[in-house]
Every structure is written in structure tokens, then in C-alpha cells.
Amino acid sequence: MERGQQYYLDPIFRDPNVVGHEWHQIKQSLSIVIEQSHMNNTTAAHHQHVTDEYIRQFGYQQTRPILRGDLCMTYGTPQTGPQANCLPIGIALSHDESTLLSCDVHRSAQNVRLFDVETGQLKHTITRNQQMKFHRPSAVMSDARNNILIVERDYIYVTEPDGRLIQTIGHHSIKQLYGIALFHDRYLLTIDSKSTDANTAENSRLLLFDPNNGRLVFEQPIIMNREPEEKLRERYVKHVVGNILPETTSKPRFVAVHNDNIY
């Protein structure tokens, strides 16, 4: 997630009738995507997290003290030398919260590892095969059946917990997929994005797939807010800390959903 950039979605979206599939109307909040680090205003009465107080105290300050903590668990094998052979980038929990899922995009790995949450031990590794061609699997999640959904360059692979392929989801228009989340407890939400040249932002879209049939049921361009930096700072004075990233460095890579809002 990048700091200090705001995006909005063009209000015209693909007619779901084109894909010949029953469409469940998406609420109006889908038309706004704010790529910001929002404040965590957790108000639950039980087990307040230390980060809540930290964010309230230092969230708007440009200089923040280091937030220290105790190491509770190490998953995998720590590197013993300068030449790393793993590069974990996307993590998630299984639906039953018993397994930590970790994507590894290192050129010598290209796999998804499953760790036992309680012990930290490696339970299983999902690797490329004839059916699944991994090219930097960068995001992963688990559904209500504890099936694993893996985002790689051109496809979303749905596998059983042991890695056996169940379904391959894709579309001929996909450029490069990044991130995955569940929307309305039904649709698979992801981003496809690809640069055209070094002087402009990447062309990016939000995509919704129906996992029941693998169809693309919604696509929406993400449009860069090109207002002058001064206006952005004036409008979002409480949220912009430090420098606003130039358009050329905009690279949407992750996506999340909370209360049907997309971040």
C-alpha cells in the first residue's frame, strides 16, 4: 500500500449483463478507493492492541519512535548468510486460523508455504507443476472451506490445503495480477496493473471474479488523482505525512476490504 496517493474509480462500469450472469449490485462505496494508511480506531472493550495507542499518539507526526515488541514466533528458517534464498511477500491465515500462508517470490523458490500457527513448523509447500505455472505468486488467501487461493501473474489458482488444484481462474484481458480479497463474502477481488512507460502511472483495474464459475463479472479502471500537490495537502492535511509520491511511482500492489469499502 502506497502512502499519500488517492485514487478514484470511473463511475462507468461494465454491464454485468454482458457476461450473462446474475449480478448482485455493488453498493456505492465501491466508487471510492483511498490508498491511504487509515487510522485504526478500534473501540473494542477487550484486549486493546498496543498499536492503537501508538497510532493515536504518533499517527500524524512525521517523526515517530520505534515501536518495539517481543518476538513470539519465527516461521521458517532464518537466513544464516548474506545470500538469501527466500523472499516472502504475501501472507494470510487459513479460514480456521490454524495455518499461516506465505508466498515466496524468490527466483529459487516460487512457492507458497503453509506453517502451523501454534508451533511455527512447516506443514506443506505448494510448488509449481504442469497445471500451475508459478511466476512470482504474490498474494494468497483462504476461503470458508479452507481452500487456498493463490494469485500469480496471469491466474488465480484455487487449491485444496494439500496443494491439489481445484480451479484456475483467469481472463484473456489480464495484464498482471496483484493482491486478493473477498468482496460481499462472494466475489474474488484483485487488481491487474501494468506499466506502459517510465513517465506515467501504471494502467490498473479492479477486477471481480465469481469463484462459482470463474467468470469476470466486474472490471473498473483505477484513475489517478492528478490534482496539484498543494490542493491534495490542503484537502487531506490530516492524512498526508511527508512527500506525496509522484505519479510515475504509483504501483498498486495490495488490496483489502472492510465493511464493503475497498482499500
3-state class (DSSP) for residue 148 = strand
Biggest alpha carbon–alpha carbon distance for the chain: 56
Asked if the structure places residue 56 within a domain, the reply is no
Work out the angle at residue 115's Cα, subtended by the Cα atoms of residues 112 and 121, and round it to the nearest 5 degrees: 130
The closest alpha carbon to 200, from 250, 254, 252, belongs to 250
pTM of the model: 0.69
Asked if the structure places residue 251 within a domain, the reply is yes
| Weakest mean pLDDT among 11-25, 116-130, 196-210, 215-229 | 11-25
Residue with cell 460481499: 184
Q: What is the pLDDT of residues 9-39, one digit of tens each?
A: 433 333 344 344 433 333 333 333 333 333 3
- Provide the domain limits for residue 103: 5-20+29-34+86-262
The DSSP bridge partners found for residue 166 are: none
Asked if the structure places residue 40 within a domain, the reply is no
The grid cell for 160 is 485444496
Contacts of 188 (CB under 8 A, 6+ apart): 149, 156, 169, 180, 181, 182, 208, 209, 210, 211
CATH number assigned to the domain comprising residue 117: 2.130.10.10
The closest alpha carbon to 220, from 8, 3, 2, belongs to 8
Asked if the structure places residue 55 within a domain, the reply is no
Domain count, the chain: 1
Cβ atoms of 1 and 254 closer than 8 Å? yes
Asked if the structure places residue 81 within a domain, the reply is no
Asked if the structure places residue 191 within a domain, the reply is yes
Higher pLDDT, 69 or 156: 156
Q: What is the pLDDT of residues 219-247, one digit of tens each?
A: 998 877 777 878 877 887 666 666 677 77
pLDDT value at position 165? 96
Which amino acid is located at 192 in the chain?
Answer: D
Residue length of the chain? 263
CB atoms within 10 A of CB 135: 13
The grid cell for 35 is 490508498
Asked if the structure places residue 49 within a domain, the reply is no
Q: What is the pLDDT of residues 57-78, one digit of tens each?
A: 776 676 778 777 777 778 887 6
Cα separation, 102 vs 54, whole angstroms: 27
Asked if the structure places residue 57 within a domain, the reply is no
